[in-house]
Structure 1
Amino acid sequence: MSVRILALVGSLRAGSTNRQLAEAAVKVAPEGAEVSLYEGLADIPFYNEDVDVEGSVPASAARLREAAQAADAFLLVSPEYNGTIPAVLKNAIDWLSRPYGAGAFSGKPVAVVGTAFGQFGGVWAQDEARKSVGIAGGKVLEDVKLSIPGSLTRFAETHPADDAEVAAQLAEVVARLHGHAGESAAA
């Protein structure tokens, strides 16, 4: 059985090192795990309960929910914006948290990783993402973490997939997420 892992990237910038980190996750995924990057977070309007009713859900939000429902696990890849989670990633979590108690994250394993320019690699944002997705119903893997500091210099001329240390650490994260997703499916 193949495990489908949906990667949500909290940066919209074309040259984002966090997007590159997600691309690296696709490359290092173990056999039996399929990591796919969700495209289209920029198109989803801010969550609004007034439009989250049958017949009014924006098509972009419905596509996100459909992709998330089909996923067995999630990899959230978050930079840190002003000490916290980027709005685009928080918005995706909000849309996927509904309907209350039965959102797409419900009971599915979630790992959070990321890179940032600062010396701590975005841990505050990643901690906020873990908190938010946990409240949204995800089974947060608190011991599966990867925060890479100094992103602008470390990845200035090297893609994360070509950084042996980062690729190995990321492969371990994806393998552990894959394992937890397999356990959840078997339960």
Structure 2
Amino acid sequence: MSVRILALVGSLRAGSHNRQLAEAAAKHAPEGVEVEVFEGLAEVPFYNEDIDVEGSLPEAAARLREAAGSADAILWFTPEYNGTMPAVLKNAIDWLSRPFGAGALSGLPVAVIGTAYGQYGGVWAQDEARKALGIAGAVVVEEPKLAIAGSVVRFAELHPADDTEAVDGLVEVLSQVAERTRAAAA
């Protein structure tokens, strides 16, 4: 079974190291695994139940739900902003968790990884994202974890796709997510 993994990146800036890490995941995905980096997370409006109405759902939110609904799993790439995940990722969780109990996250395998400037690589943000995703109904793949520290220095001149340690970590995470996805489908 081929596994389609949707990559959601929590940093919106053009030179984002987490975006580069997602590109590296797509480039180095193991055989039988396809990684698609979602475009347009910045256009998804903040979740508001008043606009989450059939027939008038914002187009960007509908595209996000459609992409998540057609994926076999989601890989969340998060930097750490003030000790937690960026609002854009929390907003994606909110949109994908609705309707309650039947949202695109319900029963879907997910993993959270990333890179950050600090010495711990964004582990607080990753922990917060895992917590929110679990509460939202996703099946959180807890291991292996991948938190790459010192992103500004480490990736100043080296793309994560060319960093052997980063690639090895990505392949390990992708393999585990694929294995869990296949087991859930069996």
TM exceeds 0.5? yes
User: In 1, distance between residues paired with 2:104 and 2:116?
Assistant: 27
Displaced runs of 4 or more, over 3 A: none
Report the Cα offset of residue 28 of structure 1.
Answer: 1.5
Contact preservation (8 Å) 2:11, 2:19 = yes
List gaps (5 residues or longer) in structure 2: none
In the TM superposition, 1:1-187 aligns within 5 A as: 1-186=1-186
* 1:27 Cα offset (Å): 1.2
Give the superposition deviation at 1:144: 2.4
What is the DSSP-based 3-state SS (H/G/I as helix, E as strand, rest coil) of the residue aligned with 1:31? coil
TM-score, length-scaled by structure 2: 0.98
> Hey, what's the Cα distance between the residues in 2 that align with 1:14 and 1:99?
32
Shift of 1:56: 1.8
Q: Distance in 2 between matches of 1:69 and 1:164?
A: 32
Q: Output the CA distance in 1 between the equivalents of 2:166 and 2:93.
A: 26
Q: Which amino acid aligns with 2:34?
A: E
C-alpha separation in 2, matches of 1:183 and 1:88: 30
The alignment yields a C-alpha RMSD, in angstroms, of 0.7
TM-score by length of structure 1 reads 0.98
Q: Percent identity?
A: 70
Q: Shift of residue 61 of structure 1? A: 0.2
AA partner of residue 163 (structure 2): D
Distance in 1, Cα, partners of 2:157 & 2:112: 24
Q: CA-to-partner distance for each residue in 1:61-80, whole Å, 9 max, x for gaps?
A: 00100010001001000000
Q: Is the 8 A contact 1:44 1:61 kept in 2?
A: yes
Deviations 1:27-56 (A, max 9, x none): 111111111000000001000000111112
- Shift in Å, 1:4: 0.7
What is the rounded CA distance, in whole Å, between the counterparts of 1:141 and 1:177 in structure 2? Answer: 7
Distance, in Å, in 2 between the alignment partners of 1:6 and 1:184 is 17
Q: Tell me, yes or no, if the aligned pair for 2:143 and 2:173 is still in contact at 8 Å.
A: no
Does structure 2 retain, via aligned residues, the 8 Å contact 1:112–1:144? no
Is the Cα–Cα contact under 8 Å of residues 78 and 86 in structure 1 kept in the other structure? yes
Unaligned runs of 5+ in 1: none
1:135 and 1:57 map into 2 onto residues whose CA distance is 23
